[in-house]
A and B are shown apart, each in its own frame.
Chain A
Amino acid sequence: MNAGSASTPDAVEPSPVPAAKLGIWWFLASEVMVFGGALVSFILLRLVGPGWSEDLAHNSVALGSINTLILITSSFTIVEVLSAQKRGDEKKFRSFMGITIVLGLLFLVIKGVEYSAHFSEGLFPDKGLFWAFYFGLTGLHALHVLAGIVANASLLVVVSRPGGFARYSHRAEMNGLYWHFVDVVWIFLFPLLYLG
């Protein structure tokens, strides 16, 4: 911000919210609309459609529940990352971030196991509207998880550099907000695609 030749920082009107946080919340607002639009489509077509309870039975509630617990736990660990950042605890910050990344990867692995089980049963996206939505919604969500893992991993890398903690660790809050949002999406996908 202080790019000009002015030697003192420019005087700025006080702002209610820090820029990065405001930015991530605007981003989440548009993400709500992305998943909102997709879920609205799914719910309406489901209500009018044949019910799909047979298709639903192919999904393993056990694996879905495990994934739910994984994401919930990772939400908890990333909140601990933020607490560690507030306390200035560099070691805890790194270890909790590491756990979060591992949990995210574990989620994707289990998702992959489920996908391959479906493929081996011959269930592809073109096998009916339920599977189209199933793969569309979980695929979109998995991409978000992947993006979150990449963001978390790159934060972990820059924070581990010398002096990185002081400069970059405040970004943990943004990563956390995004990660929680992805968790919230899954909280709704799970009953819709596994239980409902």
Chain B
Amino acid sequence: MIRWQLAYPETEIPLFGRPIGPDEYNAFVTMHGTIMVFFVAMPLLVAAMGNFLIPLMIGARDMAFPRLNMMSVWVLAVASLVLLASFFVEAGPAAAGWTGYPPLSARIEYTGVEYGLDLWILALALEFASFLMGGINFLVTPINLRTRGMSLFRLPLIVWMIMGASILFLLSVGPLIAGAVFLLLDRNLGTSFFLAEGGGDPLLWQHLFWFFGHPEVYVILLPAAGAMMEIISTFSRKTIFGYKSIIYAVMIAGVLSFLVWAHHQFISGLDPRLAMPFSITTILISVPFAFIIFSMLATMWGGSIWLTTPMWFAVGGLSVFIFGGVTGIFNGSAPVDIYIHDTYFVVAHFHSTLFSTVFLGGFAALYYWYPKMFGRMMNEFWGKVHFWGTYIFFLLVFVPMHLLGVGGMMRRIADPSKYEFVKELLPMNEFITVAAIGLLLIQAPFVFNFLGSMFVGKKASENPWDATTLEWTTPSPPPHGNWPGAIPAVHRPPYEYAVPGVSEEWLPQSRPEGAAS
């Protein structure tokens, strides 16, 4: 609907029955951002994958704190309900952008939104509480419940990535929680933490928000990147290139991610002398990520690549992620950012990075672990149709979107036809909208494949992909307690494919040394 409005301003939207007004447009943009980042990406990638995979991969019966875990799920459910409720309260849901900058968000009269925005803050706060509980679980479980022989440097990379994401989340969310409390007080008790007329400072919120906001990007990104690493190694039939170095690279990226937050604020009234230090740290963050990308490519080099649907999604995700990565350099460079800040270039950039990881990486993970979850295989043919459709339509949507940004089109405008220099871009907007509808429709085969395969899919064996990590040593789906008998002990690193001098092509982590050859 957002796209429709951009392509055909002020016209009736099919299935919705009327054109949307600018205030509704703002609300849709806000809710889209919030829902996607906090209520799709994080639960799906961090929580769902973490809860399912961590115990299976480290050889544990359950998470370290099962009750805390249940609580986190319920709090998340309540948070989602609160957010949904905000659509139905008087004066509509939050409309201050997903970043919720005050003063726009701090006083009712500026947006006209009443309780919708309070509910929005409340939903975020609950969601943070939920992930605090989850994050503690994701950290303590792999540290304390690893099976015998599973040393830290034998953990599958995705477990490392989820741990990294949890650390980043736990250490970055605090200031924003404090900020959210202040914002609620501003809205409801008339305080002025973020209002200049009362002695406060609007920029304070931006700092508190982005101090969390940038690490948050990696919270979403790392688990999906971890899934891609697992899959690329498995289907290249090849050990991962530079296992330890990848872990170190992620640590460096994690540390740097705490030092880059102000790159979202280059032109926000930030002290301009701060811009260059932040610009340098921002661009330097490309080095560890380049390292990870090169390591993935090196992993594929000389492999014996088995092109299954999860592999296609992982490779496609890597390809798009490179694209999103290189466009990040433009944004990171402070002078270029003067021009492209708050344009569609930024929108296209973060969709490229996040779409590639959240959706392509997420789909790769789903196709890969589906047999383990449901005991049946997904259909390969429809999986590949889904991949190619998604990949091509994605490029058709987001590559031209960069050009819109170069053309100077601002984000979050409800009606591009009101500006002369943006009006020229209208045909491009129409094209993107058509492609976006295509992107949506091409998800249909996935939905049918996902639901249908539960009943008619081929029965999956314990280890349909000949993979080496521990989760493939238990029946699919795993019974209660994860292993029917004793938990296997671990004797080797996670990605032992085509080891020289060994006749088997792959060696599961649980294979004892003596039985190897």
> Does a CB–CB distance below 8 Å link A and B in the complex?
yes
Task: Say whether A30 contacts B132, CB under 8 Å.
Answer: yes
A37 at interface by CB-CB < 8 Å: yes
Known contacts being A4-B483, A26-B139, is A34 close to B189, with CB within 8 Å? no
A140 at interface by CB-CB < 8 Å: yes
Task: Say whether A125 contacts B143, CB under 8 Å.
Answer: no
Which listed residue (A34, A45, A140) contacts B200, Cβ 8 A? A45
Complex CA–CA separation, A29 to B132 (angstroms): 11
Which listed residue (B135, B139, B140, B181) contacts A140, Cβ 8 A? B181
A120 at interface by CB-CB < 8 Å: no
Task: Say whether A45 contacts B487, CB under 8 Å.
Answer: no
Known contacts being A5-B485, A11-B147, is A36 close to B174, with CB within 8 Å? yes
Known contacts being A125-B185, A132-B191, is A33 close to B174, with CB within 8 Å? yes
Q: Which chain B residues border A1 with CB–CB below 8 Å?
A: 60-62, 145
Q: Which chain A residues border B487 with CB–CB below 8 Å?
A: 4, 6, 10-11
Contact bitstring B150-184, A, C-beta under 8 A = 1, else 0: 11000000000000000000111111111101100
Task: Say whether A132 contacts B193, CB under 8 Å.
Answer: yes
Complex CA–CA separation, A8 to B137 (angstroms): 24
A35 at interface by CB-CB < 8 Å: yes
Complex CA–CA separation, A133 to B308 (angstroms): 57
Task: Say whether B480 contacts A30, CB under 8 Å.
Answer: no
Task: Say whether B150 contacts A13, CB under 8 Å.
Answer: yes
User: Which bracket fits the contact residues of A?
Assistant: 35 or more
Which residues does B use to contact A, with CB under 8 Å? 59-62, 64-65, 68, 132, 135-137, 139-140, 143-151, 170-179, 181-182, 185, 189-193, 198-201, 204, 208, 211, 479-487, 489
Q: Which chain A residues border B172 with CB–CB below 8 Å?
A: 33
Q: Which stretch in A15-23, A85-93, A165-173 binds the other chain?
A: A15-23
Known contacts being A22-B140, A45-B201, is A136 close to B61, with CB within 8 Å? no
Task: Say whether B489 contacts A6, CB under 8 Å.
Answer: no
Interface hits, A1-57 → B, CB 8 Å:
1-6, 8, 10-13, 15-19, 22-23, 26-27, 29-38, 40-41, 44-45, 49-50
Task: Say whether A128 contacts B193, CB under 8 Å.
Answer: no
Which residue in chain A gives the minimum CB-CB distance to B486?
Answer: A6
Query: Nearest-CB distance from B191 to chain A (Å)?
Result: 4
Q: Which chain A residues border B139 with CB–CB below 8 Å?
A: 22, 26
Known contacts being A13-B148, A125-B185, is A23 close to B140, with CB within 8 Å? yes
Complex CA–CA separation, A103 to B504 (angstroms): 67
The 6 closest A-B pairs by CB, nearest first: A33-B174, A37-B175, A4-B481, A126-B190, A132-B191, A38-B178
Task: Say whether B193 contacts A129, CB under 8 Å.
Answer: yes
Complex CA–CA separation, A128 to B198 (angstroms): 6
A119 at interface by CB-CB < 8 Å: no
Which residues does A use to contact B, with CB under 8 Å? 1-6, 8, 10-13, 15-19, 22-23, 26-27, 29-38, 40-41, 44-45, 49-50, 124-126, 128-129, 131-133, 135-136, 140
Task: Say whether B192 contacts A45, CB under 8 Å.
Answer: no
Q: Which chain B residues border A19 with CB–CB below 8 Å?
A: 64-65, 140, 144-145
Which listed residue (A12, A33, A34) contacts B146, Cβ 8 A? A12
Task: Say whether A26 contacts B140, CB under 8 Å.
Answer: yes
Task: Say whether A36 contacts B175, CB under 8 Å.
Answer: yes
Q: Which chain B residues border A10 with CB–CB below 8 Å?
A: 59-61, 147, 486-487
Complex CA–CA separation, A29 to B172 (angstroms): 10
Complex CA–CA separation, A16 to B143 (angstroms): 9
Q: Which chain B residues border A8 with CB–CB below 8 Å?
A: 486
Q: Which chain A residues border B132 with CB–CB below 8 Å?
A: 27, 30
Query: Nearest-CB distance from A118 to chain B (Å)?
Result: 13
Q: Which chain B residues border A2 with CB–CB below 8 Å?
A: 61
Task: Say whether A41 contacts B486, CB under 8 Å.
Answer: no
Q: Which chain B residues border A129 with CB–CB below 8 Å?
A: 191-193, 198-200
Which residue in chain A gives the minimum CB-CB distance to B200?
Answer: A129
Complex CA–CA separation, A181 to B297 (angstroms): 47
Which of B151, B172, B174 has the most chain A CB atoms inside 10 A of its CB?
Answer: B174
Task: Say whether A5 contacts B481, CB under 8 Å.
Answer: yes
Complex CA–CA separation, A8 to B486 (angstroms): 8
Which listed residue (A5, A13, A50) contacts B484, Cβ 8 A? A5
